[in-house]
Amino acid sequence: MTLVVILFVVLLLLEMPLAFSIGIAGLSYFLMSDYLPLTISVQKIASASQSFPLLAVPFFVLAGHMMNRTGISDHLIGFSKTLVSWISGGLAHVSIVLSTLMGGVSGSAVADACMEARVLGPSMIKSGLSPGYTAGVIAVSSLITSTIPPSIGLILYGYIGNVSIAKLFIAGILPGFLMMALLMLAAWVIAKRRGYQPEASRRPTIGEVWRDMKDAKWALLFPLMLVVTIRFGIFTPSEAGAFAVVYSVLVGFFAYRTLTVKKIISALHESMNDIGMIMLIIMLSALVGYAIVFERLPQSIAETMNGVTSNPDLMLLLILGFLVLVGMVMEATVSVLLLTPIFVPMIQVLGIDPVHFGILMMIVVTLGGMTPPVGVAMYSVCGILKCPTDRYVIESLPFILTILVMVAILAMFPHVVLFLPNLLM
């Protein structure tokens, strides 16, 4: 197993595509094994795609691209500006609120960060916010999409760990809004210290908020409809994904009247690229997943950690600390696919709820996308805004520390995460 890990790391350093790095490393395990026939590797690759719950991934990816083509983001930006642009820091708060609202549309932190960097970023810098502060707010606030349904990462975690996706969706709502509130607080404190001015000169009236909320109602209703339909058994998560595609088409054609056949074809092309990449990673990671189980790696890690401490709370913090480091060097999707089968059995033995752990895991591994050395969201935002990476790193630290403090709070007080799923499920 050590050779598999070394080969995987070497291939990544050689800049081989992620899916092939995983696939070659996993296949090498079967080639070097004296007990496992090579035919099992082919069976595992094929069986990884034979899952009804996994259908939710391509459906939600397609729905996200469709909704972006309908102009939903423009309506959400208008609503966000009305709500919070009067606060010191102005458009920084708009970005954070928009990430919360876009979580129910895109389901992807990187997609959200890139969209906001293109649409809001130039205006934020023009309004007087520094490029580093702008990039830090946009990149780190995109983390909110990792918990607000329909998070693609939570779907994968539920699929791999055999955890209720419906419960995960509902459990992500409160942490998502808590993340929004804490990031807005951090942005406000920094804005006050630096003298950043609000974008709007006054608070909005109730009538203005109601007007813009009605304008964005189709986007705001979407995550609510997902949670309600899944909770009451109207749809499974996979069926909800299919519903999301139909909903996005209906909204685009009949509500906003901005969706055209050309835009649908463009959304299908982009979705095919994203879905192909994600599914290839999922299928080839099944090789490594099988090797992990065959080598009894979860049990070995559990025994090692039990030698350090037997306290469940300290153990949880140790695991989360390890996941933070892993997230810094490995893409979130891969981290979930490879580490879920290791840690879910461990935390269940410790008496930790897998829904609680799933939310924490998604936050910390996705956070790696906003940090060096391989943060995809970080490099994407800095590239779009032409912001030096060193300035981003310095000015994003308060926001990253805010997230880590929040994770520690959620780890110590699981009822914050589990309140809604226990109430509704």
Tokens 């999707």 belong to 333
Percent of the chain with pLDDT over 90: 19
Q: Where residue 104 falls among pLDDT bands split at 50, 70, 90? A: low
pLDDT of residue 398: 94
- The confidence score (pLDDT) of residue 25 equals 85
Question: Sign of dihedral through CA atoms 127, 100, 145, 394?
Answer: positive
Predicted confidence band of residue 245 (pLDDT cuts 50, 70, 90): confident
d(Cα 186, Cα 401) in Å, to the nearest integer?
A: 10
Average pLDDT over residues 23-39: 83
| Angle at which helices 152-161 and 332-349 cross, to 10° | 40
State the pLDDT at residue 299.
Answer: 66
When pLDDT is averaged across residues 414-423 and rounded to a whole number, the result is 91
pLDDT band at 189 (very low <50, low <70, confident <90, very high): very high
For residue 184, what pLDDT is reported? 94
CA distance 56 to 322: 29
What tens digit of pLDDT does each residue of 38-52 get? 888 888 888 777 777
- Predicted confidence band of residue 416 (pLDDT cuts 50, 70, 90): very high
Cβ-contact 281, 80 below 8 angstroms: no
* Tens of pLDDT, residues 89-100: 888 999 999 888
Q: What is the DSSP letter of 143?
A: G
Residue spans per domain, the chain: 1-47+280-294, 48-259+295-424
Q: For residue 306, which amino acid is it?
A: N
CB of 346 within 8 A of CB of 298? yes
Helices of type H across 172-236: 173-194, 206-215, 217-231
Do 165 and 43 contact (CB within 8 A), yes or no?
no
Q: What is the pLDDT of residue 239?
A: 85
What's the rounded Cα separation, in Å, for the pair 117 and 376? 13
Question: In the structure, what pLDDT confidence band is assigned to residue 1 with cuts at 50, 70 and 90?
Answer: low
Residue from 33, 20, 26 nearest 5 by CA: 26
- Tell me if 187 sits within 8 A of 92, measured CB to CB: yes
Whether residue 240 has pLDDT greater than 70 = yes
27 — pLDDT class (breaks 50, 70, 90)? confident
Separation between Cα atoms, residue 47 and residue 325, nearest integer Å: 31
pLDDT at 15: 74
What is the per-residue pLDDT across 327-376, written as a single tens digit (0 to 9) for each?
887 778 878 888 888 889 888 888 899 999 999 999 999 898 888 776 77
What totals of helices (H) and strands (E) does the chain contain, helices first?
23, 0
pLDDT single digits (tens) 201-211 = 788 889 988 99
Query: 0.85 cut: is pTM over it?
Result: no
Closest CA to 96 of 129, 63, 145, 61: 145
What are φ and ψ of residue 414, in 5° steps?
-60, -20
Burial (Cβ within 10 Å: 0-12, 13-18, ≥19) of residue 376: middle
Flag whether pLDDT at 124 surpasses 80.
Answer: yes
- Is residue 214 pLDDT above 80, yes or no? yes
Least confident of 246-250, 313-317, 371-375: 371-375
Nearest 5°: CA angle at 418, between 230 and 305?
Answer: 120
Residue 338 in 3-state DSSP? helix
